[in-house]
Amino acid sequence: MASAPSKLYADDVSLVVVLLDTNPFFWSSSSLSFSQFLSHVLAFFNAILTLNQLNQVVVIATGYNSCDYIFDSASDLNRSFENGRMPVMSSSLLQKLEEFLIKDEQLSKEEPEGRIKSSLFLGSLSMALCYIQRVFRSGALHPHPRILCLQGSPDGPEQYVAIMNAIFSAQRSEVPIDSCYIGAQNSAFLQQASYITGGVHHKPQNLDGLFQYLMTIFATDLHSRSFIHLPKPVGVDFRASCFCHKNTIDMGYVCSVCLSIFCKHHKKCSTCGSVFGQAQSEAASASDKKRKTPET
Amino acid sequence: MHLLNLILQTSSFGVFTSSRLFFPLRLPATFSFALQIFPSRSTISFSHYNIHKTMASGLVTKRAKYKTTIKDPGTPGHLRMTLEKILFMPHNPKSAGKLDVEFRYIKGQKHTKEGSNKPPWLNLTNNQNGSFIFEFENYSDLQDCRDFVGKVLAKSGEVSEKPTVAYPDEQLSAAEMELRIKLLQEDSELQKLHKQFVLSGVLTEAEFWATRKKLLDREASKKMKQRLGFKSAMVSDIKPSTDGRTNKVTFNLTPEIILQIFAEKPAVHRAFLSYVPNKMSERNFWTKYFRAEYLHSTKNSIAAAAEAAEDEELAVFLKQDDILASEARKKIRRVDPTLDMEADEGDDYTHLPDHGIFRDGNKEMTESQNELYKRTLSQDINRHAAVVLEGRAVDAEFEDTKAVAEALAQSKRESSNKGESDGDTSRERLDRLSRMTEIEDLQGSNNLPLAPLCIKDPRDYFDSQQANALRTSGDALGGTEQIKCSLSILEVYSSLRESISSIKAMGWKEPIVKPEAAHQVFDALTNSISNTKHNIGKNPQESVLDRLPRKTKEELLHIWTSILELLKHFWASYPITTSYLYAKVNRLKDAMSNIYPQLEEIKGSVPSEFRHQVSLLVRPMHQALDAAIQHYEASMQKRSTQSGEKPNGYV
């Protein structure tokens, strides 16, 4: 897909919208502690801002119950949080983050049931896309935005449909989505997002050097990507989740009208309402059988 | 004396029927015409005429001598060529030169040139490199035979592409066969598949095409004929041919032109129907018609009036076309007043000369006798344009004028009948008029029954399913680690906030990243980047296939499409209910087993740097074939255990 890498960027100004994963359940059981993570990440933000005078960083926190903007480097409200020990911007970010966490906690309803739940990645992705649309329509000269996802929580299959829609709209607006996954398993959503939109996906092996990963790979602006080689994943996990139970499946039934995926045979498509014909035999059934083999 | 300067017009070459009418034109002072009608199917050159004749009949018979070698004086006799074979009968029944060869064995032909001093010889070579030499009496005979042989050889070349196996249970029409052949010729991939499977007997024709019905239908619909309209060039510009010596002018009329004349000038049509063949012959009719045209073209209305007075039939052609006038009036009456409020009787001018506008500002219409015979160019052009836009009312090709005239009359009658069953249409018109004259603002509100909006509950996607997902998600991601989180919400959030406060208090960790760790990361990254660049290529979307050598790529793709084809038929034949399916499945399984060695061959032929990629590509093919063969074997076992048969060789 001819997207970010092939588009001609006149200069190397970047506007990075960062989606920061603040899912407390994940962080409480991660090998990397949240404070270490924050120090890597905050240094990274500062580095981006020093690369070019016009660079801009916007941070959206992906919480467990809600998402919110917590930092915008272009705004003037950063002056009020003075703290001698770190740059001003970082301290304001931390302050906002704390407030966000308090709000998020208040929204929690029930006790967790066991597995680590996924964060509301979908919500923050949508907020990022809305922000970017606003930038597009602002009319003034703006750098071409990209989205950087720092995710650790596992994928929530129930968010599959909406995330795919968001990814396609990002593809349509030619906004590359970079993703750095610091969790334990693989995230199919992030891989697909980066693949489709022309961004770069990486899963760091060594989390102590997270800052180095961020600087080497994710600090590259879009113009430089035409001549700086970035690591590519060997394959992309294209598994989908079924629309009825939100399970991840690799073989299922596809409605030939609206292309929704189901894990077992249904009489009627729940998305578009079209009625499926009778299955004639086991082998030759009226609705297609599709096999998706992961290429990894 | 001045002769009209005219261009010869020829009909097209032998395929369309043409009837030629020839008019000899003398000097303008004495007007007389002569008509000459040629039979249809006349063509320009004699030899081509022969071809059409022979191809139509499929037979050529010539006197010739048959020589076995060049030196041989030759046995005189008759050479007879049909579409199937060549037969030579010597005049002398006792001589040994009899020859009976089928065209299938004839490979090619050679002949002596016409301009050279050599006698006219035709040399036919056959498959076994023997040759048959025939000496003809003259070169035109040689020419005929040569053309005939050429045509037959060309035809036989096409025949070999037709599918060689015809199944008695499949009734194929010739059109179907043609479609299939056309499809095969257009799509080389399809042709390869067809050759590979059908001609080797793995699949039958019927099965092969059964899955491609859509392709065939599309081809068939492409052949729908479009109706040709009339030509835009004006027919009244038919230029006749002049013959300077005899002072004759010759007009060629094809039924096409006649149709157009009748369509444009309904009065002429009516005159034809009434006069011919009762009052005058067709030839006379056209003579008078062209006489009238000539008079019009001279714009000499006095002479026209004079002649019209003499000859009443001529007068018909010279007068204004009253049928046109009445039609125009009818059309004006039928104009929908809601469309054009201003159309009225005064718009009825197209049949008047000069559109009713008089050059000298004279507003009165003085209908002198001479006025009747005037016709202006604008009238002609407008009428022609109107007819072309209306389109062709009659579609077939005709042999002669009478048929044309009648067909046109028939179609006119039909359309007028349709127009007359107008009781309903006029009521419709009144309805529509009454609706259009309503002013909407003054109406009351129109409460149409609204259908309630029915949106599929979007929460199906999001919220309500989450409960399901949570319940079932325990076993959803099989095989992945499930890290249990046993802390409560409170604990979790508080630990997070603690981290934040700690970092606020202490500032960033110094150093943010240890140099060794950074160095290690950097190394690993650069290594992996250079490796993947080497293995995969710069563009993640670039396909591995593109980097293989072209031949390998094509072979792989071809094997893949053939695997797909086989698998399609294989899986479609289960469950096996008839013995036909059983045999078919066996055939398919054999074909599938033959693909394995092909794949191995490809893997072996590829240079070593691509071998890994190729084996990755080949893996899903293997998997698909393996699955199919496994299924086959399982079902075979089931069958044999069910029927209690002992496998071969088992005592």
What is the complex's ipTM, to 2 decimals?
A: 0.74
Q: From the first residue on, what is the mean pLDDT of each consecutive set of 10 residues in chain B (651 residues)?
A: 35 36 39 36 36 51 73 74 74 68 70 67 70 75 74 57 43 71 76 74 72 74 68 66 69 74 77 75 78 74 71 71 74 65 59 58 50 66 80 64 73 68 68 76 72 61 47 41 59 84 78 85 86 62 67 83 84 79 83 84 79 81 87 85 60 47
> How many Å lie between the alpha carbon of A55 and the closest alpha carbon of chain B?
22
CB B122 within 8 Å of CB B79: no
Written as one string, the DSSP assignment of B479-522 is TS------S-HHHHHHHHHHHHHHHHHH-S-SSSS-HHHHHHHH
Handedness of CA B185, B189, B195, B198 (dihedral sign): negative
For an interface test with B, which of A31, A122, A159, A246 has the most B Cβ atoms less than 10 Å from its Cβ? A246
Across the range A222-238, mean pLDDT stands at 79
A76 touches chain B (CB under 8 A): no
- Please tell me the distance from the alpha carbon of residue B582 to that of residue B585, in angstroms, as a whole number: 5
Q: Which residue has the higher pLDDT, A265 or A127?
A: A127
The least confident of A17-21, A46-50, B422-426, B480-484 is: B480-484
In the chain, the amino acid numbered B32 is S
Report the Cα–Cα distance between both ends of chain B, in Å, rounded: 113
Q: Which among B470, B492, B533 has CB closest to A25?
A: B492
Across the range A84-99, mean pLDDT stands at 79
CA-to-CA separations, B413 to A265, B28, B275, B391, B469, in angstroms, rounded: 60, 41, 19, 16, 74
- The per-residue pLDDT for B534 is 67
Closest CA to B528 of A193, A199, A229, A224: A229
DSSP symbol at A191: H
Using CB atoms within 10 A of its CB, is residue A75 exposed (0-12), middle (13-18) or buried (19+)? exposed
Q: Which residues of A touch B497 (CB under 8 A)?
A: 98, 101-102
- The per-residue pLDDT for A280 is 46
Q: Which residue has the higher pLDDT, B32 or A105?
A: A105
Across the range A20-28, mean pLDDT stands at 87
A24 touches chain B (CB under 8 A): yes
Q: Which two tokens stand for residue A48?
A: 């981006």
Q: How big is the A-B interface in CB pairs under 8 Å?
A: 190
CB A124 within 8 Å of CB A62: yes
Q: Which residues of B touch A85 (CB under 8 A)?
A: 504-507
Is the pLDDT reported for residue A90 higher than 90? no
Q: Which two tokens stand for residue B522?
A: 């950097």
Per residue in B113-137, pLDDT (tens digit) is 666 666 777 777 766 666 777 777 7
Across the range A24-48, mean pLDDT stands at 88
Closest CA to A203 of A221, A186, A228: A186
Q: In the beta sheet, which residues pair with residue B102? A: B85
- Tell which A residues from 178 to 237 touch B, by Cβ distance under 8 Å: 184-185, 195, 204-206, 208-213, 216-217, 229-234
Closest CA to A83 of B500, B563, B274, B625: B500
Is the pLDDT reported for residue A16 higher than 80? yes
- The per-residue pLDDT for B9 is 35
Is the backbone of residue A259 left (phi > 0), alpha (psi -120 to 50) or beta? Answer: left
Q: Which residue has the higher pLDDT, A189 or A19?
A: A19
Q: Which among B500, B571, B575 has CB closest to A98?
A: B500
Q: Which residue of B has its CA nearest to A3?
A: B541
Is the pLDDT reported for residue A177 higher than 90? yes
Per residue in B196-245, pLDDT (tens digit) is 777 666 677 777 777 777 777 777 777 666 666 777 777 655 666 766 66
Is the backbone of residue A198 left (phi > 0), alpha (psi -120 to 50) or beta? Answer: left
Q: Which residues of B touch A42 (CB under 8 A)?
A: 508
3-state helix, strand, coil in chain B (%, to 5): 55, 10, 40
- The per-residue pLDDT for B63 is 76
- The per-residue pLDDT for B136 is 76
- The per-residue pLDDT for A9 is 53
- The per-residue pLDDT for B65 is 74
**Helical H runs in B129-242?**
139-159, 174-186, 188-197, 205-210, 213-222
CB B312 within 8 Å of CB B255: no
Is the pLDDT reported for residue A207 higher than 80? yes
Question: Do residue B540 and residue A195 have CB atoms under 8 angstroms apart?
Answer: yes
Sheet holding A201-202, edge to edge: A67-72, A56-62, A15-21, A145-151, A177-181, A201-202
Across the range A80-99, mean pLDDT stands at 75
- The per-residue pLDDT for B500 is 85
- The per-residue pLDDT for A83 is 60
Rg of the Cα trace of chain B?
43
Q: How confident is the model at residue A1 (pLDDT cuts 50, 70, 90)?
A: very low
Q: In the beta sheet, which residues pair with residue B243? A: B248
Is the pLDDT reported for residue A73 higher than 60? yes
Look at strands A288-291 and A251-254 and give their pairing: antiparallel
E strands along A53-102, which residues? 56-62, 67-72
Across the range A126-155, mean pLDDT stands at 87
- The per-residue pLDDT for B504 is 80
- The per-residue pLDDT for B435 is 77
Preceding amide of A24 cis, omega within 30: no
- Please tell me the distance from the alpha carbon of residue A245 to that of residue A253, in angstroms, as a whole number: 13
CA-to-CA separations, B171 to B160, B199, B229, in angstroms, rounded: 20, 19, 37
Using CB atoms within 10 A of its CB, is residue B402 exposed (0-12), middle (13-18) or buried (19+)? middle
Question: Do residue A34 and residue B500 have CB atoms under 8 angstroms apart?
Answer: yes
- The per-residue pLDDT for B161 is 42
Q: In the beta sheet, which residues pair with residue A252? A: A290
- Please tell me the distance from the alpha carbon of residue A61 to that of residue B500, in angstroms, as a whole number: 14
Is the pLDDT reported for residue A169 higher than 90? yes
- Please tell me the distance from the alpha carbon of residue B6 to that of residue B249, in angstroms, as a whole number: 8
Per residue in A261-289, pLDDT (tens digit) is 888 888 887 777 778 876 544 433 333 44
- The per-residue pLDDT for B218 is 75
Closest CA to A20 of A169, A105, A128: A128
- The per-residue pLDDT for A176 is 92
Question: Do residue B532 and residue A232 have CB atoms under 8 angstroms apart?
Answer: yes
Q: Which residue of B has its CA nearest to A100?
A: B497
> How many Å lie between the alpha carbon of B222 and the closest alpha carbon of chain A?
27
- Please tell me the distance from the alpha carbon of residue B177 to that of residue B179, in angstroms, as a whole number: 5
- The per-residue pLDDT for B350 is 59
Question: Do residue B506 and residue A24 have CB atoms under 8 angstroms apart?
Answer: no
Q: Which residues of B touch A113 (CB under 8 A)?
A: 470
CB B548 within 8 Å of CB B609: no
- The per-residue pLDDT for B456 is 62
